[in-house]
Amino acid sequence: MASERYNAPVREKHWQQVWTENGTFRTNEKSKKPKRYQLEMFPYPSGRIHMGHVRCYTLGDVMARYMRAKGYNVLHPMGWDAFGLPAENAAMERKVHPRQWTQENIDTMRAQLKAMGLSIDWEREFATCNPDYYVHQQRLFLDFLKKKLAYRKTAKVNWDPVEKTVLANEQVIDGRGWRSGASVEQRDLTQWFFKITEYAEELLSALDTLEATWPDFVCTQQRNWIGKSTGANMRFALDGGKLPKKLAALDVFTTRHDTIFGASFMAISPEHPLAQHLAAKNEALAAFIEECRRIGTTEEALARAEKKGFDTGIVAVHPFKPDVKLPVYVANFIVMGYGTGAIFGCPGHDQRDLDFARKYGRPVVPVVLPPGADPNTFSIGAEAYVGDGTMINSEFLDGLTIEAAKDKIADLLEERGIGERKVNYRMRDWLLSRQRYWGCPIPVIHCDKDGIVPVPVAELPVKLPEDVTFDKPGNPLDHHPTWKHVPCPKCGQPAVRETDTMDTFVDSSWYQFRYTAPNAPTPTDKKALKYWAPVDQYIGGKEHAVLHLLYARFFTRGMKATRHVEIDEPFASMFTQGIVVHETYRSENGDWLTPADVRFEGDGANRKAVSAATGRPVEIGPIEKMSKSRKNVVDPDDIIAHYGADTARLFIVSDTPPDRDIIWTEAGVAGAGRQVQRISRIIDDIAARNPVKGGAPRPAAFGPEADALRRAAHKTLNSVSQNIEGLRYNVAVAQLYELTHALSGALEKSSAAAQDPAREGLDWAIREAAELYVLMIGPMLPHLAEDCWARLGYNTLLADQPWPEVEAGLLVDDQITIAVQVNGKRRDELTIARTATKAEVEAAALKLETVARALEGRPVTRVIVVPQRIVNVVG
């Protein structure tokens, strides 16, 4: 009965076809089952899928298939994050239209994903670059505009003077444009923003409830990003020189208003209006400001190194001690974008202020006394004191705690009208304008008479023109001959379209809702959304911990305010997967080699690599994230063609916990491939020996062999279920392997002698265990499981089978083995009835010879018995 080798590539194609023909994974919301929305971050269609995709979609698919079997109505969709710069780069480099390039990539990658055997409802697929999708995004934009969640203001941007375009921060390398190499300028341009700061407090406080189901680090990073600080605004009257009225007072934000009596100078940002005003008449100051600006964009390391200031000659009046005058400096370490761009310096209790004060000879007066310190001798040395304590040298604040002092000062500020309590956020509004072609057009028209006029909803979508060229620098939409010239919707006079397109993060901020009704005539369909939303389990990369997830959370709130959704949070539960890493290889002349170009000799410590082409030695480098530049990539297509998708999937879920980085190795893949064959063989064996389907009459009694196998199978079922639900797939796989051993052991016994009463019911138990086993591997190895299910005699689809039920009685054993410790050290073990009382366990333990020996004659002083766990004899 030599079983044939399981031909995975052939069988997988077969089962994929069967699933497609049966519409197995199509979904709708007209089901009575509970819903489950499983989503993985959709891919950017860059050309071909990579192992990162394989990992992410495998992790999601295991959950989707498991939940489907558990009786949920599962939504598991796929689409394409299809706008973005690479398409325009391809257009420039290869003279291919972005749409064509994108579409070809989508077609390639869709085929690759289908070869993975994912349980996706492909009928819901969409690409964000199609007007069918972005028309709704334009509609959302207009609704946001109406609610003032979208607005325009001027902002500093990185301007590439050669390409005549705005660059993202990551496109600026050492102050130069990444493509042109030109020195990047800071320009003030009018840009579109989303008012994400409107929801700063809500986005922050809701993290408390997400904490239970989102990774800690994601919540922490979002908290830091939002950066709430509670303090006060404080107005200082200025003295000296003639200042225009609106510059006559200096507004300062501080979180340490308690330390106001320790203030010894003021500092303002080089970009502060007061600095700008003064620089107009002061060349030295202008030069200083120019120097700060240059350093700011080029050498951030240098900027960090030294605090520098420029004394303006102006002084500020201390709000509680009018005779104290504080000199106002322009200082390089004050950023305009935070607070008011101005501070009062309290060198005793802020390190930066201390560094500055020491350099410019300003007094350093401690105003907070550390607990236990002597007020007469306490002084500040090289380090500012930022800890807790009581107020000193602070007149009416003396003796108060920091908190009480803050309260008192805040009260006084408000009373006298020279300040107020203030909460500040680090987070800024979301700049969404991009001077690019391949993005969603912002649907507004600029009219000389009517200003900014929204494109009427009936005229949406504002489609991208297809006839564009990329041979000129700048935005193709801007120099298209006709596209932007339109009559004003209000007055009919000639007007121009907005030529900015949207940041691609906008596209991915609401796609999770669109999947619930991908063909709805409005952005969302109330009924479908109510049924499906929110996403129950979202899976994606750690790199999106802040921006994408925060933007999607903001969008959900914006869409609620504009009545497109009724929920606050888009993703009920979040999981971040680790990356795929691989060894790197370099030839003698330093070129990177792909794993396919390398041959290995020896193993263990003697493992060496040589070039497959030349036979010359190759250096095995560190394990790094798979990347084209390092060439340490493995093509998923090669793996699937050679071993099949199930092997790739098994490798992904074995050994490495899903949230950690996984090291891709050829040996590991081969190992997974062997497992696939092993499972196939065992099932063949069982199918041949126990041809009776699951409906065979259940024996009246089971002998010990059968009982043991049944217990093993049901215990495995129980824990595999829990481990899949907790995304501990690697542990689930290990437990399945254990059951493999139990099964093959039982098979051997069953074939040995049929008459042995110990083996009563064993054949039935083997059959049962095999069926449970095949059902359990379904989520991870869907094709193999389907194949085995058929071999076991079924003509139904395994994908349609419910997850099996555990027989609870088989989970608890009558006899259990517990450890016996003497003084906390394990000395023996004890097999005893599960229901044994503490006294019985104690008695049994004390009878053990090993215990007596370990006690070495000492009397027993105490015995700790934890029922069903352990017994510890102390003596």
Nearest to RNA of 92, 866 (CB atom): 866
Least separation, in Å, of the C-beta of 367 and RNA? 14
Assigned token pair, 423: 């909460």
Selected from 424, 508, 537, 716, the binder of RNA by CB under 7 A is 424
Selected from 93, 323, 471, 603, the binder of RNA by CB under 7 A is 603
DSSP letter at 860 equals P
Query: Biggest alpha carbon distance in the chain?
Result: 111
Least separation, in Å, of the C-beta of 200 and RNA? 12
DSSP for 825-869 reads EEEEEEEEETT--HHHHHHHHHH-HHHHHHHTTPPP-EEEEETTT
Integer-rounded Cα Rg, in Å, for the chain is 35
137 contributes a contact to RNA by CB under 7 A: no
DSSP letter at 316 equals E
Least separation, in Å, of the C-beta of 126 and RNA? 30
C-alpha 222/C-alpha 201 separation (Å) is 12
670 contributes a contact to RNA by CB under 7 A: yes
Q: HEC profile for 707-773?
A: HHHHHHHHHHHHHHHHHHHCCCHHHHHHHHHHHHHHHHHHHHHHHHCCCCHHHCCHHHHHHHHHHHH
Nearest to RNA of 13, 228 (CB atom): 228
592 contributes a contact to RNA by CB under 7 A: no
Could you say which residues in the range 796-825 bind RNA, by CB under 7 A? Answer: 817-819, 821, 823-825
290 contributes a contact to RNA by CB under 7 A: no
Nearest to RNA of 130, 740 (CB atom): 740
303 contributes a contact to RNA by CB under 7 A: yes
Q: How many residues are recorded in the chain?
A: 875
Phi, psi of 332 (to 5 degrees): -75, -10
Selected from 667, 700, 754, 808, the binder of RNA by CB under 7 A is 667
Least separation, in Å, of the C-beta of 224 and RNA? 6
Least separation, in Å, of the C-beta of 829 and RNA? 5
214 contributes a contact to RNA by CB under 7 A: no
Could you say which residues in the range 489-528 bind RNA, by CB under 7 A? Answer: none
304 contributes a contact to RNA by CB under 7 A: yes
Could you say which residues in the range 339-358 bind RNA, by CB under 7 A? Answer: 339-341, 343, 350, 352
Contact 847, 873 (CB under 8 A): no
Least separation, in Å, of the C-beta of 791 and RNA? 18
Selected from 4, 21, 170, 216, the binder of RNA by CB under 7 A is 216
Contact 652, 54 (CB under 8 A): yes
Could you say which residues in the range 819-858 bind RNA, by CB under 7 A? Answer: 819, 821, 823-827, 829, 850, 853-854
Query: Binding residues for RNA, how many (CB under 7 A)?
Result: 86
C-alpha 135/C-alpha 144 separation (Å) is 14
Least separation, in Å, of the C-beta of 250 and RNA? 12
Nearest to RNA of 14, 749 (CB atom): 749
Binding mask 780-799 for RNA (x = CB under 7 A): --------------------
Contact 341, 269 (CB under 8 A): yes
Nearest to RNA of 153, 304 (CB atom): 304
Nearest to RNA of 373, 734 (CB atom): 734
How far is CA 854 from its chain centroid?
53
Nearest to RNA of 695, 824 (CB atom): 824
Nearest to RNA of 455, 769 (CB atom): 769
| C-alpha closest to that of 796 among 678, 645, 685, 695 | 695
Could you say which residues in the range 618-657 bind RNA, by CB under 7 A? Answer: 654-657
Selected from 60, 84, 177, 231, the binder of RNA by CB under 7 A is 231
734 contributes a contact to RNA by CB under 7 A: yes
161: left (phi over 0), alpha (psi -120 to 50) or beta: alpha
DSSP element (H, E) containing 254: strand 249-254
Alpha carbon distances (Å) from 759 to 153, 269, 751: 81, 85, 10
Q: HEC profile for 639-693?
A: HHHHCCHHHHHHHHHCCCCCCCCEECCHHHHHHHHHHHHHHHHHHHHHHHHCCCC
Selected from 111, 248, 335, 641, the binder of RNA by CB under 7 A is 335
Assigned token pair, 700: 């009246």
Could you say which residues in the range 233-262 bind RNA, by CB under 7 A? Answer: 253-256
663 contributes a contact to RNA by CB under 7 A: yes
Least separation, in Å, of the C-beta of 272 and RNA? 9
- ∠ CA 548-554-556, nearest 5°, is 100
Total Cβ atoms within 10 A of residue 191: 20
Least separation, in Å, of the C-beta of 537 and RNA? 19
Alpha carbon distances (Å) from 666 to 633, 638, 663: 12, 12, 10
- The set of residues, in sequence order, having a beta carbon less than 8 Å from that of 704 and lying 6+ positions away, is 758
Least separation, in Å, of the C-beta of 820 and RNA? 8
Assigned token pair, 678: 């092993």
C-alpha 852/C-alpha 7 separation (Å) is 60
Nearest to RNA of 478, 661 (CB atom): 661
Selected from 48, 70, 97, 426, the binder of RNA by CB under 7 A is 426
